[in-house]
Each structure stands twice: as C-alpha cells, then as structure tokens.
Structure 1
Amino acid sequence: MYRERLRDLIDQDELLQCPGVHDPLTAAVADVVGFDTIYMTGYGTSLSKTGYPDAGLLTMPEMVENAKNIQERSSVPVIADADNGYGNATNVVRTVREYVKAGVAGIHIEDQTFPKRCGHTKGRKVIPKAEAVGKIRAAADVRDERDESFVLIARTDARGAVGGDLDDAIGRANAYVDAGADVAFVEGPVDEDEIARIGREVDAPLLYNCVGELGTSPYVEPDRLTELGFDLVLYPVASTLATIAAVHERLSGLKSEGMDALVDIDRAFAETPVGDLHEFSGFPEVVEWERRYMPSDEQEKYGDSLGDDVE
C-alpha cells in the first residue's frame, strides 16, 4: 500500500515535500501535521540514537529498526536513508532485503566509501563508478525479486567529494538510473544554476535535498524546484533541528524560572493541535484492545483508580 502510494505521489505534477523525522515520536507529529510522505533522516537517527553525528557510526540493523518503527507509527509512506548500503554489493543485497521486510516505501543508497559521512560536510570520498553501478544493480535486483513497488533512490556524492565535480555526479546519476534506480539524487549542488543543470541532464525522476545554511545546497521554493524538473524534496533535519531548538529553549527556561516555566510548557503543549498527550500517544487504542481481548473485569481498574482518563 505505502509503496504504490509513494510511486503515485512521485508521478504527480506537484512537488512531493518530505520532512525529515528521526524517530517514531517526530514521525507521529508529522502525521498530525498532514504531510503526504516523510523521510527518516540518517543524521537525525544517529543523533537521536547515539548522540553522535552522521559519520558512519550506526549499523544497518540500527537504521532498519528505526525505519520499521517509524513506518509502523506513520499513516503515510516513509523514505529511509540506507547510507552506502553498509558495504559492497553483497552487503547491499541484505540491506535492501531488510528494508523491504521493515515495510518502508523506499530507500536511498549513496556511493560514498565506508565509513560514510553527512553529505554536506568536508572529507567525503566516493567509490569507483563501476563499483557503485554494481551496488545499484544489486539493489534493483532485490527490489524486483522481493517487491517491484519498492522505490529505489540512487544518490551520488560525487559533486562535493574529494576530486569530484558536477560532470561526474551527473554521469553517475544517469548510470545509476540505467542500472535500475527509480529516482536520481545528486547530493550537494551549490547554486540554482547547478540545480537547473541536473534537471536538464539527468533523465529520471529527481530528488533535491534542501539543507540551506547547514550545507552547500541552497533553499529553493517548491514551485521553482518543480520548474527545474524535480519531483521530490527532502527537508532532512527539520524535526531534529526543531526538537533541539525547542528543548533547549524550554529547558533553559525551566532552569532559570523554575515552576513557572514548567507551567508554560504544559500550556504551550495543550495549545497545539496535538492537544492531549495520552490521546496523541495512543492510549485510547490500548484501552480498546483491552475491551476487545481481555476479561471484562479488567475494565474495573478504570473506575477504581486515580489519574487522567485515557479512555
């Protein structure tokens, strides 16, 4: 269901906007807001799970587990970061199988060496083109064997890597599409002229990674990206930055103002469309499971205990 839906969204005329989320909680918030697709950020996943940056520190099982939990909590398709496939072409075979089993709608795989790092930091290197093509071919074969609707996005970091340039990146993107990728993702164009050139010269559905001040690729309005030939845009660390900024602000207030700040946090939360924490987190659904599957005397606890009403 999610995979066919993602393919339909990519085929539509309107640009598909995908906010980055780093865990099931931020995914649930994106769901409430109403995005059609969400993206599991690798950087945010690394920060939220380990407290450390996107520098190849997470393993494939950790990434897959997070992707599975995010898709489980979401009512829309999830695109997940699969880094560089966690090894060579044979590793990619298992990586894609695991993401397919996780239930996500699609993934992107990049052509960086191991360990990889954030696509907007210095020091990146890419593997030889022929090796990268083989990895995408392996990924495409697994897609075709396990679920042809699974969306495979091929990312190249050649534009900003050591010794790389845009010519190399465009050549690689087209080669990856020829190898079976559904969508091309050229990481790191530095201005609108480069973005436009990618739109003209890469013959495939296109993804743009909008990082703005955090990296090399500028902010571009959705309508303009559509004009330039792009089909998807990622806002990769939107929820991660929002979380860090909000938590820092509120905890700073709590440290300096004490109980008044805590009251303000409660009020601010209550004023959001999320509204009630217990309802948002799914307590009414748990209560319904109890009614449906457990002995009726289990319901007596709700009439003879104290606390918020979670029914």
Structure 2
Amino acid sequence: MTDYGAVLRERLDSDGLLVCPGVHDPLTAAVADAVGFDAIYMTGYGTSLSKTGYPDAGFITMPEMISNATNIQERIDVPLVADADNGYGNATNVVRTVREYIKAGVGAIHLEDQTFPKRCGHTKGRRVIPREEAVGKIAAAADVRDDRAPNFVLIARTDARGTGDGSLDEAIIRANEFLEAGADVAFVEGPTDESELEHVGREVDGPLVYNFVGETGTSPYVDLPSLESWGFDIVLFPIAATLSTIANVYSDFSDFADDPVAAMRRIDENFDAQPVGSFHEFAGFPEVIEWERQYLPDEEQDKYEGSLGDDLESD
C-alpha cells in the first residue's frame, strides 16, 4: 500500500507551490488525476452538497466524509488532502477521527477550530472554540499521527479571522500555536486582501496553505508566484470541480429541455474531444475484464462471444 503521506511530504519538501484542485467524489478525482496534479483536495463543501444535498453547515457526518475520502484515494494515484472539518467533536473525538482518516489511506487532512455545527469558512456566522481547547485538539491529532502513521500530514486551520470579532493577529497566534502543538502545516482561513496574505506569510513560522475560493469567498484572487514569494506552500482550489459540474450540468440540461437529441450529440462530441479514451475505458472496464481473465474460470470468457457493445478486452 502506498504511503501517500510520505509522498506528500516529499513533494512539500521540493521547490514550488503545490497546487491541489478540489474534487467532491471519485469521478471528479479521476478526471483531476488524469489531467495530472501532484496532489488532489477533497472539499468538505462539495462532499456535503454531492452526498447529502445540504450545504457546508455541519450536516455531513464523519462516516460519510471518511467513506468519500477512502473511495477517492482508492481511485487516484497521488496523495489526497482531505477536509476533516472540526474533527466532529472535542479532542477525544479527534483521536478517532484522525485514526479513521489514517485507515482510509489519505495523505493529509486539515482540522479547523470552529464550534459545532461548523460552516463553510467563507460564510457569515462562524464561531471558533477557545484557543486552549483548539490547541488541545491539534495536539491530540498530532499524537495519533505520531503513534499510527508518522508520515501522515496534519494541517491545522483557524477560522478566527472570519468570526464576528475575529482579528488577523488572533488567527496568526493560533496558527503558530497549532504548529507548536505538532501540526505540520498551518492554514489561516479568510485573509481579506494581499496585505493580509503577506502578513500571514511573514508572521506564521511554518508551511502555509492558501484556500483559493474565487468569487464565492472573501479572500482575494492572487497570482501563484506572489503566494510562493510570501511563503505559502500549498494552494487549494476547493470548489473548482463542484462549480464546474453545476455550471456545465445546468447548461447541458437547459439545452436538453430545448432539444434533447442535439444536446446529447454535443455532449458526446465534447467528451470525445478529451484525451481520455472512451467513457467505458475511463471508467475502468479494461481493468475489470483483466481481473476476470485472471481469477474467473475460462468459460466465463464465453459471454463476450457474439455480444454487442464496446470492445474493451485488454490484449
């Protein structure tokens, strides 16, 4: 089994910003992996919306998140950085949460200091737990990492900047205390402009994440060389696949309402223009057929003789 934490640490140690596109299920993850990235991010918002139909406001549960992360990491060949929300409880709950994500085989998680129920880090109404309690949760997570999977990457996120009376200084204090408690990477959510990003990069003593949410959030658009020069190491594009899916599906279904046949032809043409082979090949049927050849009786191959459909048998 691949140690994706070790792979991720190696990539973090190399020069350059690590760009992680956000995905919400194994299918969008497979597309991101086929395009080619060194790591992929599982969005909590997109997972909640795609799995439950509810927004990122504390509705999704730990087992649902773990299941999605497990299936995504199984489908891709690069490390997955997974959202672990606020650990689904206090420090004792965090112990189990981290153990479960480690069993899922992902390369990293991030834990935040929000209260329960939590909500998206770019919406109003967020609250954070007291600093001492938050540090204890990160310390618990770090101890589990050290005991169970030393290469597992622990990212500690603070939402202190976005609370009603939150300040950037408080967020920076928390980020540094999280690193001292054993986090590998700090994540200050919600800087509002480039000057705040520069300040975070200057004052936080450790590797840093930037959450690039675009127009759906409060943080600025900024070019990647600037982020790198300010000291950021990872940039997440959390809802890229989710927004793309919604926009494209809405457009496609609108076309279907007008002329379903023409719309289906256009969708087929757009798919055929992508360098992924046929839909069934991309979905993994050739591998299934190879498993059948290896493990099933020879007579099971007779079902392919004379049958109709795409020929996906491996040579």
TM superposition score normalised by structure 1: 0.99
Provide the residue aligned with 1:11 in structure 2: 13
Q: Which runs of 5+ in 1 are unaligned?
A: none
The correspondence of residues 1-311 of structure 1 with structure 2, limited to 5 A, is 1-311=3-313
- Write the distance in 2 (CA, Å) between the matches of 1:219 and 1:8: 28
- Equivalenced residue count is 311
Q: How many angstroms does 1:162 deviate by?
A: 2.1
Q: How many angstroms does 1:196 deviate by?
A: 0.3
Q: How many angstroms does 1:304 deviate by?
A: 2.4
Task: Give the alignment's Cα RMSD to 1 decimal.
Answer: 0.7
Q: How many angstroms does 1:275 deviate by?
A: 3.1
Map Cα deviations across residues 192-242 of structure 1 (whole Å, 9 max, x no partner): 000000000000000000112111111111111101110000000000001
Contact (CA 8 Å) 1:81, 1:107: kept in 2 or not? yes
- Give secondary structure in 2 for the equivalent of 1:20: strand
Q: How many angstroms does 1:309 deviate by?
A: 1.3
Map Cα deviations across residues 99-120 of structure 1 (whole Å, 9 max, x no partner): 0000000100000000000000
- Give secondary structure in 2 for the equivalent of 1:184: strand
State the one-letter code of the partner of 2:252.
R
- Give secondary structure in 1 for the equivalent of 2:160: coil
Q: How many angstroms does 1:11 deviate by?
A: 1.4
Q: Which runs of 5+ in 2 are unaligned?
A: none
Contact (CA 8 Å) 1:269, 1:275: kept in 2 or not? no
- Write the distance in 2 (CA, Å) between the matches of 1:146 and 1:172: 25
State the one-letter code of the partner of 2:193.
D
Runs of 4+ residues deviating >6 angstroms: none
- Write the distance in 2 (CA, Å) between the matches of 1:210 and 1:268: 28
- Write the distance in 2 (CA, Å) between the matches of 1:258 and 1:49: 27
TM superposition score normalised by structure 2: 0.98
Contact (CA 8 Å) 1:19, 1:234: kept in 2 or not? yes
